[in-house]
Structure 1
Amino acid sequence: MEVVPLASKNAAAVALQGGAADVIVTDWFWVSRQRAEGRDYSFAPYSVIAGGLMVRSDSQISNIEDLRGKSIGVAGGPVDKSWLLLRAYSKQITNDDLLGLVEPVYGAPPLLNRLVEKGEFPAVLTFWHYQARLKAKGMKKIIDIGDVLEQLGIAPGVPIVGWVFSEKWARANEDALRGFLRASAAAKKILAESDDEWLGLESLIKPGDNATLAALRDGYREGIPRHFGIEEVTASKNLYHILSEIGGSKLVGDSKELSPGTFWTGAIE
């Protein structure tokens, strides 16, 4: 197996489409949109939705209402899945779209971390590994995305990020693909059960201190899929409907329904 380092999610998509990579990590919304446009990509779960909204330890912000009129950092841009979920949650709780209550500051996660640490804005919604680094520095999570999903009626355990590949390639390399997915699951099991194994990853993830390493370890474990079957597929379809209403064509294109075949049948238990 050859690992191809890439700088961004978009670069990974280009690599897959151009044949420079056989498998990438991305979300199934992208897969569904690609299938709706005639491409044959499919998805096998890698990580479930995790994370939440982080504030400084001395912050008086404790809920959605407290964000009114404030600027908040948002990683991933205006169609980030956690941001869209938070907007849907806000509409349910306050009857107002969060987009109209706050000023979102979109940016790269490392920059957003630095700015919120300096107090440039009071809250940040970012990817789980950047949240872990903030947690290790004493910041606190006031809104958990898992709780948001429950409030929106979505069953737990929905994956959002996974291994993505061409179905044609999967048929031609099924043994290799299944072996790869088994190896991925075995690695997750080891990392879920052994704290010592994480010590060997320090040179790769560069935590900087033991507290950050522990926070990254715990955040990773929170995102490990426990099961992926019909219930999770149904929950994913429900999530698609919610987020497509909020994200619109910028997220899903012209496809109002989750495209058939988005989830690789070999990954459904």
Structure 2
Amino acid sequence: MTRALRCHALVLGLAAALALSGCGGGQAPSPSAGALEKAVIKVGTLPVPDAVALYIANARGLFAAEGLTVEPVTITGGAAALQQIESAALDVSQTNYVSTFLAVSRGRKIKLVADMYRAAPDTFTIMVQKNSPIRTVADLKGKTLLVNNLGNIGTLAVTTQLKAAGLAKTDVTFAKTPFPEMGNAITSGQADAGWVTEPFITANSKALSFRTIADTMTGPTADLPIAGWVATEQWARQNPKTLAAFRRAISKAQQIASGDRKAVEAALPTYTKIDRTTAEAITLGAYPSTLEASRLQKVADLMLEYDYIDAPIDVKSVMASPDDR
């Protein structure tokens, strides 16, 4: 009888252990769990669709399965994020690739650690009011166009379309306005057009009857890499196991985001102002699960072509070593 009770207790103990190991989406712990240099990291994100994989990974226990706790921290933009990782206020952060390569060209010691978001058709467009006389990119000559940041990915994308239409960058006046404010700024006459991304493409179309005159992610910018995860060179070197754990989890979450639209729609309202109805309507970009130098090189080469940087950048030199995976 005693032996039977002991066996029963052993079975219950094993069952409890198995249940605990399955917490957080049923993910089994990684062999490296408990061996990380940092078990808790702060990760900067913007409340936009680009970063959805981070929240999917947290919700489904993908980070927990790696022995890693990720604390999202809302940031204001790529430039501020770089300062925060350099000051160690953040361990890893979202950034756009143009900001990253601009920083590298100025000697900043940073490393790309994972991919995040890539443009797709109709995800970054030039919009005008319904009754605007502007019908094509060529009609923008002498007009004022809003972008969320000057000298960054918006101006680069628009400039490629200006060139295709026979215009120069100087033929348009660029002005800086946050995406949420662009619609009202154009309506009030502060500008003639805006470079807009989702969910504001959908919002401006519905609420203000705006129309799109051009998709800026075509031709040389088709499938352009937009955003990724970045850390300092020092942090990547000092925390290889933590970096590898982050990469494994985020890659799995990117695969989920890429293959399951409903997972993205469910996650967006949890960290953005996008409600479920809007999440179902917006056009999404792509969520790559691997960081590929050949794809990212396209951004650096465009930046050189359009004088954003003075010398070529070998993107491979900006990527954290694959040996750290």
Short-chain TM bin: 0.7 to 0.9
In the TM superposition, what is the alpha-carbon distance from 1:208 to its structure 2 partner? 4.9
Match of 1:71 among 135, 140, 144: 144
Count of aligned pairs between the two proteins: 247
CA distance in 2, matches of 1:84, 1:41: 22
CA distance in 2, matches of 1:57, 1:223: 29
1:133–1:215 Cα contact (<8 Å) kept: no
1:35–1:259 Cα contact (<8 Å) kept: no
CA distance in 1, matches of 2:196, 2:311: 27
Unpaired stretches in structure 1, ≥5 consecutive residues: none
CA distance in 2, matches of 1:136, 1:263: 40
Higher relative contact order (CA 8 A, sep 6+): 1
Cα 1:196–1:13 change in 2 (3 A) is closer
Q: Secondary structure at the match of 2:170?
A: helix
> What pairs with 1:14-93 in structure 2 (closer than 5 Å)?
14-43=83-112, 44-49=114-119, 50-77=123-150, 79-93=151-165
Q: Which has the larger radius of gyration?
A: 2
CA distance in 1, matches of 2:313, 2:253: 30
Cα 1:132–1:265 change in 2 (3 A) is farther
CA distance in 1, matches of 2:298, 2:148: 24
CA distance in 2, matches of 1:76, 1:197: 26
2:214 paired residue number: 143
Residue 7 (1) aligns with residue 7 (2): no
CA distance in 2, matches of 1:22, 1:235: 27
TM-score of the superposition, structure 1-length normalised? 0.76
Q: Which letter does structure 2 place at the counterpart of 1:240?
A: M
In the TM superposition, what is the alpha-carbon distance from 1:60 to its structure 2 partner? 4.4
Identity of aligned residues (%): 20
Q: Secondary structure at the match of 1:124?
A: strand
CA distance in 1, matches of 2:213, 2:197: 15
TM-score of the superposition, structure 2-length normalised? 0.65
Q: Secondary structure at the match of 2:72?
A: coil
Residue 242 (1) aligns with residue 305 (2): yes
In the TM superposition, what is the alpha-carbon distance from 1:54 to its structure 2 partner? 1.5
Cα 1:191–1:229 change in 2 (3 A) is closer
In the TM superposition, what is the alpha-carbon distance from 1:51 to its structure 2 partner? 0.7
Question: Larger deviation: 195-204 or 21-30?
Answer: 195-204
Residue 266 (1) aligns with residue 322 (2): yes
Cα 1:226–1:18 change in 2 (3 A) is closer
In the TM superposition, what is the alpha-carbon distance from 1:117 to its structure 2 partner? 4.6
1:231 paired residue number: 294
Residue 123 (1) aligns with residue 207 (2): no
RMSD, matched Cα: 3.0
Deviation track 1:170-212 (CA, whole Å, cap 9, x = no partner) reads 23322322222232233333334142652354243223572x2
1:198 paired residue number: 265
Deviation track 1:75-134 (CA, whole Å, cap 9, x = no partner) reads 212x0222123223323431x31432x333322222223223556543211344433432
2:127–2:214 Cα contact (<8 Å) kept: yes
2:161–2:216 Cα contact (<8 Å) kept: no
1:163 paired residue number: 229
